Amino acid sequence: MTGICYSYFKHRKEEALAMLLEVKSENAGFNEVNFYLGRAYAVNNRFDDAIAVYQEYLTAEGVEDSRKAEARQHIIYCENAKVYLQDSLEVEITNIGSPINTDHSEYVPVITPDESMMIFTYSGERSKGGLLGPTGKPDPDGHYYEDVMISYKLGDDWLEPESIADNVNDAGHNASIALSVDGQMLFVYKQSKADQGDIYVSSLVGDEWSKPERLKGEINSEFWEGSATLTSDGQTIYFSSEREGGFGGRDLYSASLQADESWGDIQNLGPVINTRFDDDAPFIHPDRRTMYFSSKGHKELKKLRENELSSSQLKKAKQQIIGQITLSEENNCNVMLGMGKSILLYNKIDDLSETFSKIEKISAKNLINVANHIFDKNQLSSLIFTPN
């Protein structure tokens, strides 16, 4: 158990690997250790070794289907990491240090453009309510719930962070998730007994943050909504949700500000962005054209890059692209449809038949460039490379 825990601590990952290797050497028939050993290899950047033990884990008897799916997904992560590390940037990462960082957890920082104010999520001994059980009652064996903290910069130094406001933090989960460009609106995640987690907004009135209010309109649902980002003009929110009707897991959606100040016209961002796994934590650049987000599903089209498509595979690929664009048109996924059209002809097309005609003329060589922009990579890869 110690080795498993150590694999989640960046300063103890080498110890984790040593401990789990020792367990494996002493218990050769204990297959479950291979699953955790795969993670230990991966966090130590030994991806080929990780893939090998994951594959060993998969070939053993008695492994549940859900665990097999996890292992296969971890193999994909390892394959991706091998590619990404070859194309990585040289950057210097500096720990911001004390007083922001402590022995507890600090994460999801949001900061004003002039870098004078930072708001972040904290979970630790300063959390309101102290140690709490799953019902929200004090429990010495419980966990610290999340609070929103704020710090200001004086010169080159960050001042001691403090709770942002008593009317923002309660005894439940309260997490900062986004800040408007002007620093006047803070989006907060809150979870109550009545929902699985929703998005709220607090406004800066003078020097005080208002009590967070649940976003008006259609963004929140009976399902989980937990991260968001607001465009610089304040007219569009991109958010993640586990609501039904998506592509799987958490999907990214857009919402537009309505005349009555509510949020409506909810649009799934489509299969260019969303996969059958979790797609989460969007951040829209102030230019309103560049979005960053996290994903468990995106991967390189390795097979498309390394294998020449046969005529039948090329035909299937074209059918898949046409199907994706048709689906996008039916679901009003304008972002994906627009990208597809622009990639295909580099200008606006009003007639879909023109688009489909152009697709039919795509060569196998050009297909890869088109595909990288306009369809669900996981679905196409499995479609054209899975034997009939």
- The reply to whether 204 and 249 lie within a common domain is yes
Structure tokens at 33: 């250790």
- The reply to whether 144 and 252 lie within a common domain is yes
Q: Is the Cβ–Cβ distance between 296 and 73 less than 8 Å?
A: yes
End-to-end, the C-alpha distance of the chain in Å comes to: 44
Contacts of 316 (CB under 8 A, 6+ apart): 383, 384
**Tally of domains within the chain:** 3
Task: State whether residue 201 is helix, strand or coil.
Answer: strand
- The reply to whether 178 and 325 lie within a common domain is no
Q: What is the pTM of this model?
A: 0.70
- The reply to whether 128 and 217 lie within a common domain is yes
Q: In terms of residue numbers, what domain contains 31?
A: 2-86
Q: In this structure, is residue 321 part of a structural domain? A: yes
Task: State whether residue 168 is helix, strand or coil.
Answer: coil
- The reply to whether 277 and 366 lie within a common domain is no
Q: In this structure, is residue 266 part of a structural domain? A: yes
- The reply to whether 218 and 110 lie within a common domain is yes
Digitized pLDDT (tens) for each residue of the chain, 388 residues in all: 788 888 888 788 999 999 999 988 888 888 999 999 999 999 999 999 999 999 999 999 888 988 888 888 888 888 888 877 887 778 888 999 999 999 999 999 999 989 999 999 999 999 988 888 877 788 888 889 999 999 999 999 999 999 999 999 988 889 999 999 999 999 999 987 777 899 999 999 999 999 999 999 999 999 999 999 999 999 999 999 999 988 888 999 999 999 999 999 999 988 778 877 889 999 998 888 888 888 877 653 344 444 455 666 566 556 655 655 554 444 444 434 444 444 343 333 345 565 566 666 666 556 555 555 444 444 444 333 333 3
Contacts of 169 (CB under 8 A, 6+ apart): 128, 147, 148, 163
- The reply to whether 36 and 145 lie within a common domain is no
Residue of 301, 371, 293, 273 whose CA lies nearest to 80: 301
169: alpha, beta or left? (left if phi > 0; alpha if psi -120 to 50) = beta
Q: In this structure, is residue 100 part of a structural domain? A: no
Task: State whether residue 10 is helix, strand or coil.
Answer: coil
Angle at 237 between CA 339 and CA 120, to 5 degrees: 120
* Residue 324, CA atoms < 13 Å, CB-side half-sphere: 34
